Amino acid sequence: MKRLFAVALGVLTAIGGFLDIGDIVTNAVVGSRFGWSLAWVVVLGVAGICVFAHMAGKVAAVSGRATFEVIRERLGPRMALANLAASFLINLLTLTAEVGGIALALELASSVHYLLWIPIAAFAVWLVIWRVGFDVMENVTGLVGLLLVGFAVALFLLGPDWGQLGQQALQQVPADESPATYWFYAVALFGAALTPYEVFFFSSGAVEEGWTVKDLAHSRLNVLVGFPLGGLLSLAIAGCAAVVLLPRGIQVSSLSQVLLPVAEAGGRLLLVAVILGVVAATFGAALETTLSAGYTLAQFFGWTWGKFRAPARAARFHVTMMACLVVGLGVLATGVDPVMVTEVSVVFSAAALPLTYLPILIVANDPDYMGRHVNGRWLNAAGQAYFGVILVVSVAAIPLLVATGVGR
């Protein structure tokens, strides 16, 4: 049992990070328009987040400090401030999308309009962060989020032509789509896979749980179980949309359409299970992004932080999280489409990736922080190669957003 819960942080990060509302919606949109022709991006993204999350966890375990503490100390306040500004604003946008995602999932479960669920969802996130222990939070949310395996069950129940899916995975731009739109969604999928808050939460959670050098194997296990699991479920979501929606010309524009293949394959029972999984995944992501907002700001300014500390002992940390939830609540109260917020957030995340991952790569190679645990030759080569990809993606993200009108 202890070994089972040892991977809970990685599972939570995968279910509430890799499989957040951004990844669920983006994969379904891609599947309904491109089939499995962008499956390679999911594989690329999984490998990339594994590389950098492992570095972030290793830095936390060896140095005893979270990512933003080390960034400020190693790169200096000016460069760290630029990193903070971009990361914090994107995190706030992502948090808004996650709270909206919870409300949309609850609307499907209850038929009550999502706008009525938004304040309840935001309050529930704040209540869990304030009152529920870190272990309980990660275990319950991560394990219930595993109900998203229902997408994989649905894909097999649909009895797809696996050869046709394989051909889709090998083809490039479909004939009825423009190259710009194809590459826009490639960037969006990659950004959804490497969303910056994932590593902020992962490293800060490692510090919260008191990881040391003895926990490096634990860190690798978290990374190698959690994120590939999220990647497989992402492919299943895209596969369901490719089998059911693509042949009918249905392009996903709402969360209810994402779940149509599940209802067709498994009926009401499977649909209910997957809706619970979506609620848990989006709720877990909202917890992660809310905590990441507090982590990044507190670590940069040197405030006392930590979920294990009572609000009175880490007042600014907790006030920051509450303020971010209020801002997200205010944005959603305007009636803005949460799905649109989701699509925009993953693209802006892609644009800001270098600011997050370059410092991690630098610190993981710094013997002053890591001692004999600096990156090995192969891990360093993988990190440098992926950082090259990240640079290309970040440069292309905004021009593709503008050129395609958010993929329209």
Cα 277 from Cα 281, distance rounded (Å)? 6
Q: Residue 188 CA to chain centroid, in angstroms?
A: 12
| Structure-token match 């009926």, residue found | 267
pLDDT digits (tens, 9 = 90+) for 252-280: 888 889 999 999 998 889 999 999 999 98
- Distance (Å, whole) CA 389 – CA 105: 34
CATH of the domain at 125: 1.10.4160.10
Range of the domain at 244: 2-404
Burial status of residue 404 (CB atoms within 10 A of its CB: 0-12, 13-18, 19 or more): middle
Least confident of 34-38, 53-57, 76-80, 289-293: 76-80
CA distance 207 to 222: 14
Contact 185, 38 (CB under 8 A): yes
Cα–Cα dist 58/191, whole Å: 23
Sequence-distant (6+) residues with CB within 8 A of 270 are 150, 153, 154, 157, 262, 263
Q: Are 82 and 288 in contact (CB under 8 A)?
A: no
Residue 327: name the closest of 115, 89, 104 by CA: 89
Q: Which residue has the higher pLDDT, 152 or 216?
A: 152
For residue 10, pLDDT beyond 70: no
Task: State mean pLDDT over 29-51.
Answer: 91
**Mean pLDDT, rounded, of the chain:** 85
What six digits make up the tokens of 332? 């959603």
**pLDDT above 70: percentage of residues in the chain:** 95
Mean pLDDT check: name the lowest of 197-201, 287-291, 401-405: 197-201
pLDDT of 68-94, one tens digit each? 788 788 777 777 888 888 888 888 988
With bands split at pLDDT 50, 70 and 90, how would you rate the model's confidence at 199? confident
Spatial distance between the Cα atoms of 98 and 111, rounded to a whole number of angstroms: 19
d(CA 307, CA 85): 23
User: 3-class DSSP state for residue 70?
Assistant: helix
Is the Cα dihedral 19, 233, 230, 381 positive or negative?
A: negative
Chain-centre distance for alpha carbon 243:
25
pLDDT at 345 over 60: yes
- Segment 376-391, tens digit of pLDDT: 888 889 999 999 999 9
pLDDT in tens, 154-166: 999 998 888 888 8
Residue 304 CB burial class (10 angstroms; 0-12, 13-18, ≥19): exposed
Mean pLDDT, range 130-140, rounded to an integer:
76
How many domains are contained in the chain? 1
**Which residue do the tokens 């309050």 mark?**
123
Contact (CB, 8 A) for 114 and 256: no
Residue 387: the pLDDT is: 92
Q: Please determine, for residue 5, whether its predicted confidence score (pLDDT) is greater than 50.
A: no
Q: Are 187 and 50 in contact (CB under 8 A)?
A: no
Residue partners of 401: CB distance under 8 A and separation at least 6? 184, 344, 347
The yes-or-no verdict on residue 2 having pLDDT over 50 is: no
Angle between helices 338-351 and 179-193 (to 10 degrees): 80
Radius of gyration, CA atoms only, the chain: 20
Strands (DSSP E) contained in 326-389 are: none
- Using CB atoms within 10 Å of the CB of residue 40, give its burial: 0 to 12 exposed, 13 to 18 middle, 19+ buried: middle
